[in-house]
């Protein structure tokens, strides 16, 4: 088992004919992901061809879902149009929309959050690397990769990873793989101040997943997502969790990298998040290089 996606997940790519969407559609096909459709308005009826694969392209998500049974979307749509593309996926009944796009206006995302509230569609991102459920074997065939994460660093196993940072997701995964430890699912939730899925949402899924035996939680300064997750873990957590917070040396009031990574009004500091982790019994990694080892010590 895993969370959110599996080898059976049928994926469509919104923006498959753009250079970025095309490149990552190719990498997902190489990884073994079932990419069953592409969506680019005005290019319906064409195909996306790669190494023997011929993926049909549709003008709308609704048509792609009807024709192929796709249940998940990887979204590579430019920022001015990305919010409407997310809503198109939700209106078509997709179970999962993974918005890779960076730079979507905050007002647009507030509109999206309100519109999808109560709908069955789960949004991952925006401004995220996506997610990977690793497959078995040397080439990871049978896995599912949605987004931009480097699939080759993953190994099938029992550690779940959830992170606001794409780069630190890859670092944690590579540390685990180099130690011979595989992952169940790795989820990059994105670094924007308004996103679809929080640390807590993913933590709850990992805790309920029998195939996940330990969790690495990676956060950063700004917001209260990490503290909320820590509070829940303190009460209901049943598996070992290691945590790291990026941005400990950032000056207050200065945004560091992600739009959501800013300390203001004395809230969202790295120290407050580390203290919440310690109070919840989460193993604290003080540097990125300690993430995997911190979890493995707890698991032993």
Active-site amino acid positions: 258
Is the Cβ–Cβ distance between 219 and 226 less than 8 Å? yes
| Helix residue ranges per DSSP H, the chain | 19-31, 61-68, 79-91, 106-116, 166-178, 199-208, 225-236, 270-280, 291-299
Q: Which residues contact 83 (CB under 8 A, 6 or more apart)?
A: 104, 105, 108, 109, 111, 112
Is the Cβ–Cβ distance between 151 and 27 less than 8 Å? yes
Query: What are the angstrom distances between the C-alpha of 221 and each of 47, 193, 218?
Result: 43, 11, 11
The 8-class DSSP code of residue 206 comes to H
Is the Cβ–Cβ distance between 158 and 211 less than 8 Å? yes
* d(C-alpha 162, C-alpha 188), whole Å: 6
Rounded (10°) angle between helices 225-236 and 270-280: 10
Query: What are the angstrom distances between the C-alpha of 127 and each of 119, 217, 236?
Result: 21, 18, 29
* d(C-alpha 87, C-alpha 147), whole Å: 18
* d(C-alpha 118, C-alpha 5), whole Å: 21
């Amino acid at each position: 088992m895993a969370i959110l996606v599996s080898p059976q997940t049928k994926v469509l790519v919104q923006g498959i004919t753009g250079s970025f969407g095309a490149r990552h559609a190719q990498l997902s096909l190489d990884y073994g992901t079932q990419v069953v459709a592409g969506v680019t308005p005005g290019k319906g009826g064409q195909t996306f061809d790669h190494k023997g694969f011929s993926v049909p392209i549709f003008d709308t998500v609704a048509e792609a879902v009807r024709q192929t049974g796709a249940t998940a979307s990887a979204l590579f749509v430019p920022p001015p149009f990305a919010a409407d593309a997310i809503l198109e996926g939700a209106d078509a009944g997709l179970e999962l929309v993974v918005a890779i796009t960076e730079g979507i206006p905050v007002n647009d995302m507030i509109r999206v959050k309100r519109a999808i509230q109560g709908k069955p569609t789960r949004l991952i991102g925006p401004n995220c690397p996506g997610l990977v459920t690793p497959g078995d074997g040397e080439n990871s065939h049978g896995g599912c990769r949605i987004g931009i994460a480097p699939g080759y660093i993953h190994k099938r196993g029992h550690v779940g990873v959830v992170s606001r940072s794409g780069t630190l997701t890859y670092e944690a995964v590579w540390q685990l793989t180099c130690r011979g430890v595989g992952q169940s699912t790795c989820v990059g939730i994105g670094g924007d101040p308004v996103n679809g899925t929080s640390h807590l949402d993913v933590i709850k899924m990992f805790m309920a997943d029998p195939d996940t035996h330990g969790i690495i939680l990676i956060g950063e300064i700004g917001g209260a997502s990490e503290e909320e997750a820590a509070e829940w873990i303190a009460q209901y957590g049943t598996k070992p969790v290691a945590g790291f917070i990026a941005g400990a040396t950032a000056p207050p009031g200065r945004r560091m990298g992600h739009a959501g990574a800013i300390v203001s009004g004395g809230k969202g500091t790295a120290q407050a998040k580390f203290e919440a982790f310690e109070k919840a019994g989460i193993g604290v990694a003080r540097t990125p290089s300690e993430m995997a080892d911190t979890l493995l010590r707890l698991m032993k």
